[in-house]
Amino acid sequence: MRSISRAAFVVALASCVSIVGCGDLSNMLYGDHTGVSRRPQPPAVRLVETRLVHAPTNRQLALHFCREHATRRGGRAAALACRAFGELPSREDLRFTFEVELEAQNTGRVPLPVVEALLALSVFPDTDAQHLGTVCVRMCRGTEQCPQDLENACESEEPEIRDLRSFAGAAAGFLTSVAVGERRFSDLQVRTIDPNETLRLVASFTLDVEPALAVIEWAAQEAVASASRGEMPSFTIDYELEGTLFCEVPDFGRFAGSFPPVRGSWPLESE
């Protein structure tokens, strides 16, 4: 298995496509005596792990919502009750950042250059309204000619593949990206899955603060109500993730492999 590569993905980052040498491809695709091409197989994709790497604490969220409600009501007593939670958190304190580790396996005979990745996140999926965000990432081959906002990004002609059109109603700006450490161009380069090999990718994402807080206030009403009374609540963020990796092989076109929705939860720490 290849070592894990950390990719600081950028939202809707368009890029060039890595091209496998035509001579090498010809040998792999037409290697038998029949001369009939072997259609490449899409990668088998699975979600290995989702890690919450930064989030506000219960106390910070409680103070935020307590102050918000006190401001709306204009009551001095309510504002004084909020002081029990401590100092008002900054915008940076209130952001949610998580890492997604994906594994893609190539069971065929043709190298598969990964050119795009699609991630769809839904928080509080069991509530009446679905709060969904999507990120379409395009990988780069070189630093010079790397066009932005290409058409047909993260789209597929295969009806069973979940693509960007499947999430047309996603909340704009809800899911954005964040760099991990120093952002390097090499983190965004195309990675090719060789035949009978497995590739792991780690991407880091963040939720835009204002939409995320609005969703929490709407979906976790009981906890927010406790905070507004000056009581210490406990917040748990339920989520659902799904996604697709797109590969492109010369003369054969695009191939995509999706992983099904995976659910989990992020309980927040008290301090």
For the residues of 59-102, what is the DSSP string, one character each? HHHHHHHHHHHHHHHT-HHHHHHGGGG-SPPPTTTT-EEEEEEE
CB 242, CB 263: distance < 8 Å: no
Please list the residues that pair with 253 across neighbouring strands: 249
Which DSSP symbol is given to 251?
T
Measured CA to CA, the distance from residue 166 to residue 163 in angstroms comes to 5
Q: Is 136 helix (H, G, I), strand (E, B) or coil?
A: strand
Instruction: Look at residues 27, 271, 11, 42 and name the one whose alpha carbon lies nearest to residue 156.
Output: 42
Distance spanning both ends of the chain, measured CA to CA: 38
Q: Are 215 and 67 contacting, i.e. CB atoms less than 8 angstroms apart?
A: no
Structure tokens at 176: 């954005």
d(CA 15, CA 87): 43
Contact indicator for 60, 114 with CB cutoff of 8 Å: no
Alpha carbon distances (Å) from 149 to 13, 19, 138, 143, 160: 7, 20, 9, 16, 25
User: What CA–CA distance (Å, rounded) separates 170 from 118?
Assistant: 13
Tokens of 166: 């499947």
Burial class (CB in 10 A: 0-12, 13-18, 19+), 106: buried
Question: How are the residues of the chain apportioned to helix, strand and coil, as percentages rounded to the nearest 5?
Answer: 25, 35, 45
CA-to-CA distance for 232 and 85, rounded, in angstroms? 8
Q: Which helix (DSSP H) or strand (DSSP E) does residue 207 occupy?
A: strand 198-207
Residue 60 pLDDT: 92
Average pLDDT per block of 10 residues along the chain, 271 residues long: 41 32 48 58 94 93 84 64 79 92 93 91 81 81 56 84 85 64 56 92 87 88 83 90 92 92 93 73
Whole-prediction pTM: 0.78
Pairing status of strand 198-207 against strand 5-7: parallel
Q: Are 104 and 44 spatial neighbours (Cβ–Cβ below 8 Å)?
A: yes
Distance CA 39, CA 137 (A): 25
